[in-house]
Every structure is written in structure tokens, then in C-alpha cells.
Structure 1
Amino acid sequence: MPSTTSKNVLLVHAHPEPTSATRHLVQVAIHTMEAQGHTVTQSDLYGIGWKAVFDQDDFLIRANPERLAFIDESGHAYATGSQTPDVEREQAKLAAADAVILLFPLWWFGMPAIMKGWIDRVWAFGLAYGYQGAGNTYRYGEGGLAGKRAMLAVTVGGPAIDYGPRGINGPLEQLLFPITHGSLFFPGMQVLPTFAVYDAVRIDAGRMALIESDWQTRLQDLFDSAPIAFRTQNGGDYPDRHVLADDVVPGVFGLDAHIKA
């Protein structure tokens, strides 16, 4: 049964067209989650004119004015409360969220630049990496965002067959691995399987109704369904915190080795 406990859900979305399939998924998500009693917060990245470029303007008080070292400056800004106001607002939303849903169109096999820029700027050193000043001790299953759930909702222009196990574009979850495993699981979030809408530029009313129904079902199970079984760094599979142990799925290489069967 879906969870009945009220939660906070952050919807971060990136599409400039109000009538797009992505924005339609946003509206369905708002209505579905609020009907369950959850509190929904949005970050409409195009709507707020989010600054996508991570650069020197993100650091109001420089630790080193002579050389721009992003890790050092990010950590200094986060630790001293000298981040830019827009970043602090997004981090406050993130801190309050029990679940984060990123909704975006698949552009050149990844997220739009504006959403990548949201992660670049909001995922500060000391929060999403370098947690507790302990380097890479707390990552891949642990870290500043541990305890939160995350999910991608992706609209794809091409047909599903192109993204099948032997499809010409490659399996969608593998294409999104840098986001699900890297951007989300790295700082500790539990990541659910991606909700994908294929042929997003050719959706008639009948298929949209089916998409809405499937999306509502996924949202209703947001806090109960099993996350992707990524291997945790500190769970014993990586004795040196870098490479899988020889006795863990021997003979399996690449992305699949980092997911439990």
C-alpha cells in the first residue's frame, strides 16, 4: 500500500514550453502528490531564469582571489554562509525535501544544460561531496543527502525500441547512469528506476491518458517502491573504496557490475 505519511516533495523541472510533455508531467505530479497529502515545492528552472554557468560569480567572498579552485571555493562558500542567495534558496528546498524528482527532456543523451547547472551550483562541497570534511569517506549511499529519495522523469523524442537492451542508442538507464548513480546516489540518495515517456513529440490524447495513469501509479509508490540496487561504497563490495572485490560478480565489468542483481 502507498505510504499515507505526509512528505515534502521537490520537483525540479527544465523545459521552456508550458505545453510540453515534461511540463504536463509536472502538473500531474503536483495534483497526484497533493491529493496524497504531500507538500510539493517546485523549482521551475526556466521560469526562475536559473543561472546555469558555474563560475567565479558563485563565490561572493573568495578564499583565494588569485586562483579559482572550484572545490576550495565551493567548500569555503558553503562553510562560511557566503553562497549566492539563489543557491541558498535551492539548498533550503533540498534540505526540506524527503524526495526529489528531476523532470526534463532528454537532449543529446543527457539533461538540459540549465539542469546540469542546477546540480553544479547547488551540490556544494561539504554537502553533496566532501561530506563532513572527510574526503570520499561518505559517498555512494552515504553523504549529505542520505535519507532522501530521488527519481528521474524523462521525456524522450525517439521510440522505446532505440533504447532497448540492444537498441542503437543504448539502454536508457545506462545513458542516465551518470545522473542516477553519480549525481544522486553519490551524495546518498536512494534512486528509483526512471519514469520514461518515449515518442514524446508524437503523443495523442489516448496515449497521454495511459501515460498519466502510469505516472500517477509511480508517484503513489514514490516512498514505498524499491530503489535501484546500487552497491554502496562502504558495504563491503569495495574493500579499498575504489574497485570491486575480486569475488563480487567476477567476470562482470562496466556499469552493470555496480548494481546488485
Structure 2
Amino acid sequence: MFALSILANPSPASFSHAMADAAHRVLSDRGYRIAFHDLYAEGFDPVQRTGESGNNRSDDALIERHCAELASADLILIFHPNWWGQPPAIMKGWIDRVFRLDTAYGYPPGVSYQGVPVGLLKARHALVFNTSNTPAQREAEAFGDPLEAIWKRCVFGLCGVDSVIRRMVGPVSGSEERQRAQWLAQVAEDVAAVA
């Protein structure tokens, strides 16, 4: 089995990194091959320079590698902080460039771009782990949960991944070691449930 793991947090000491490590341990124990990309460390270029209809190939070897891994992944894991109810810009750019036409979604023969696309991804499960510094009750009351819609409906749902588990942990800032250990245990449990 093959897992694609994508992380977008500029701090190598972030809790996003700790969650990715916990997830990777479970996957390694289960015999998964893991392609891990830390987008900031990798220097990923998030700028999509063509329109959507022209985004089905790239001269950038790294983009082609990401696309091939996305298309062949049995499981997809995403780790990032919640910034303004959204992923960091580098993650949005990764989606723009890698969840592309004829890789993540397509149109049936005879259906125009105005029609309903079909998902092309092989993965049956995706897990998205977010960190936040806003208390959960305030987050829900003030903002709702825009990340839920982005990941479950707009990205993975459109691209054919029916099972999406999303976990928001926080507030991370000022959290104690015991709480962090509980969050990491939950990450491991979530991964084990689908791996």
C-alpha cells in the first residue's frame, strides 16, 4: 500500500510535524510505502501559471512527481495549520497545481467544462489534520468550519475520495504536554482506523 503525506507548516518544530511523525509511525508499522513532502522545506512553488483548462501537464519535474504520487496513492494525509479559516497559501497552491485536470478529476466524453466532473483519484480515504489557536466553541460560533467544506466537498469529494476524516486540534499555543500526547494518540488512532 502507498500513502501520500503532505505537510504545510513553515516551522520544523510545529505540532503539524509532530502529527505527521505520529501518522507515519502507524503507516510504517502497517507496511505502507510513504511519499512525504514538507512543502516549505521542499521549496514547493505554489504559483499556477495557466488557467484551469491548461493545467494538465507541467515542465516542472517536482509537479509531475507530486501528480503521479497523488494519482497512485491508496491513502492521502494532509497536515497544516488553520490560517484565517484556510490552509496556508503554499497548500492552496499545491492543490491548484497537483489536483489538476486529468489527474484528480476529469470530464466524461462529450461533457464540457460546464458539466459535472468525475473524480479520478484511486485513494478511498483521506485524513486531514489541522492545528488551531482558537478555542473550538469560539471557532464554531464565530466562523463555522470552512476547512471542513474545503477538504471534504471542494477537494476530495469532487476528486472521488468518499471517506475524509478531518481532525482539528487546539488551541495548540500554550497547550501542555499531556494534551499534546492525547492529540497525537488520536492522530495514531485515526490513521490506524483506515490503514
Q: What's the TM-score, normalizing by structure 1? A: 0.68
What's the counterpart of residue 45 of structure 1?
A: 39
Structure 1 or 2: larger strand share? 2
What's the counterpart of residue 126 of structure 1?
A: 102
Assess if the C-alpha contact under 8 Å between 1:143 and 1:187 holds in 2: yes
Alpha-carbon separation, structure 2, partners of 1:36 and 1:123:
27
Q: Which runs of 5+ in 2 are unaligned?
A: none
Query: Structure 1 residue 109 and structure 2 residue 85: aligned?
Result: yes
The residue identity in structure 1 corresponding to 2:35 is T
Q: Deviations over 1:99-157 (max 9, x none)?
A: 11111000011000001000101122222333455446664xx4211543212100011
Alpha-carbon separation, structure 1, partners of 2:86 and 2:131:
11
Assess if the C-alpha contact under 8 Å between 1:146 and 1:190 holds in 2: no
The residue identity in structure 1 corresponding to 2:182 is L
1:35 to 4, 9, 29: 29
Alpha-carbon separation, structure 1, partners of 2:94 and 2:69:
13
Query: Structure 1 residue 168 and structure 2 residue 108: aligned?
Result: no
Assess if the C-alpha contact under 8 Å between 1:11 and 1:40 holds in 2: yes
What's the counterpart of residue 55 of structure 1?
A: 49
The residue identity in structure 2 corresponding to 1:217 is E
Aligned sequence identity (%): 25
Greater relative CO (CA pairs within 8 A, separation 6+): 2
What's the counterpart of residue 219 of structure 1?
A: 191
Alpha-carbon separation, structure 1, partners of 2:107 and 2:168:
32
Assess if the C-alpha contact under 8 Å between 2:76 and 2:123 holds in 1: no
Matches within 5 A, 1:141-156: 142-156=118-132
Q: What's the TM-score, normalizing by structure 2? A: 0.89
Structure with max Cα Rg:
1
The SS at the match of 1:192 is: strand
Q: 1:198 to 1:219 in 2, by over 3 A?
A: same
Q: Deviations over 1:239-261 (max 9, x none)?
A: xxxxxxxxxxxxxxxxxxxxxxx
Alpha-carbon separation, structure 2, partners of 1:32 and 1:11:
13
The residue identity in structure 2 corresponding to 1:194 is R
The residue identity in structure 2 corresponding to 1:123 is F
What's the counterpart of residue 206 of structure 1?
A: 178
Deviation at 1:201, TM superposition (A): 1.2
Aligned alpha-carbon RMSD (Å)? 2.0
Alpha-carbon separation, structure 2, partners of 1:189 and 1:35:
24
The SS at the match of 1:17 is: coil
The residue identity in structure 1 corresponding to 2:25 is H
The SS at the match of 2:194 is: coil
What's the counterpart of residue 74 of structure 1?
A: 55
Assess if the C-alpha contact under 8 Å between 2:6 and 2:78 holds in 1: yes
Q: 1:16 to 1:109 in 2, by over 3 A?
A: same
The residue identity in structure 2 corresponding to 1:128 is A
Structure 1 or 2: larger helix share? 2
Number of equivalences: 193
